[in-house]
Amino acid sequence: MKTVRKVAVVGYCRIPFARQNTAYAEIGNREMLEAALNGLVAKYKLEGELLGEVAGGAVIKKSSEGELVRESVMNTKLNQATPACDLQQACDTGIESAIYIANKIALGQIDSGIACGVDSTSQVPIVISEHLRKSLLEIRRSKTTMAKLKAIAGIKLKDLKPVVPTIDEPKTGLSMGGHTEYTAKYYKITREDQDAFALESHQKMAKAYDEGFFDDMLIPFMGLDKDNNLRRDSTIEKLAKIKPAFDKVNGTLTAGNSTPFTDGASSVLLASEEWAAKHNLPVLAYITYAEIAAIDYVEEKHKLLLAPVYAANRMLKKAALTLQDFDFYEIHEAFAAQVLGTLKIWESEELSKSFGFGALGKIDRNKLNVKGSSLAAAHPFAATGGRIIGTLAKLLNQKGSGRGFISICAARGQGVTMILEK
């Protein structure tokens, strides 16, 4: 057995995130991912470089995008022999890709690699009806003209109506927002607390932009140089006027305290210490631990986005750390209620007991999402992991030492946590 090697985060690049049907309405996954990858290649002078592998993916893909990452890599200035693969794990896709690349580096299988993610909710694939699909296949299989005509005659006008895909959970028929309404009610997360949390995310990100924190993290694309979901003029009063989005009568989740559908792409460069030194790249941070978990949310609908509760507990035990042993916390803000619910569970012995373990305790909220997070930047599903890893790695590198904790929830009752250290 080879010695497990340390895995370094040595670079990052993303395009600004854009709300659905705005700046990136006319382009798709490949164009956005290529922009993020080309930005990374240019920034770190990787032209002609043969990397170990590039891994990433998209949650929403067209049938023609089966080899999305490899096709995108071939349109960069990386050595064309650089292999690539597509991964998909809902909103965990970006960070799961980083774990995949990191494990290969740690085991000595590769020395360097890129983890990436992209999603276009503007260019969603339109699906034909099931009866039309079967009829078209029957026409294709038919050997005679009469057989083909018979299959064509079986197509009804209603069969021509396109089917727009949804992100509802197949097991429950509820959207993420619908499930998170259950979370908010179950854990008594108030509308006021959700709105206040959302406002804080926008304020933090606006300040970070003003300070220049994101200047070297983003490349301008399609006329954008900032995330266009950021609302500098947001106030508690404005947020309070927004109507509930999911439970129209008794709901507390709104467009103001939930992430919108978004387009965007991100990439992160990972490497061994030796590869980084050879290429004169600084080690921004090390990926030291990660944990994937899943949760049953069908019977207990409020649990859909709470799998990180399990992941955090397992990971901290393996790392021999407490939840308080961190300088920064990056918790993906799919919904304000989901973040506040997770924190409430970690803080409560009674609530944690229902998950099978003791309370992890409170965190210092001043260390949480210090540059804003998904409620401000928005959330192109597969691209969020790269955004968060890049942000945390930069924070640790600027500090010069310390630990960072990442938590990302995902559809189908999954979640991931990760530790970065400097």
Which residues are annotated as catalytic?
91, 379, 409
CA separation for the pair 37, 31 (Å, rounded): 10
Closest CA to 293 of 355, 361, 367: 355
Q: Supply the angle between the helices 176-186 and 336-347 in degrees, to the nearest 10.
A: 40
- DSSP letter, residue 283: -
CA separation for the pair 140, 129 (Å, rounded): 17
- DSSP letter, residue 9: E
Helix-strand-coil split of the chain, %, nearest 5: 40, 20, 40
Characterize the bridge pairing of strands 285-294 and 7-14. Answer: antiparallel
CA separation for the pair 93, 104 (Å, rounded): 17
3-class secondary-structure state, position 412: helix
Closest CA to 350 of 224, 232, 188: 188
Tokens linked to 3: 């010695």
Neighbouring residues of 164: CB distance < 8 A, sequence distance ≥ 6: 124, 126, 127
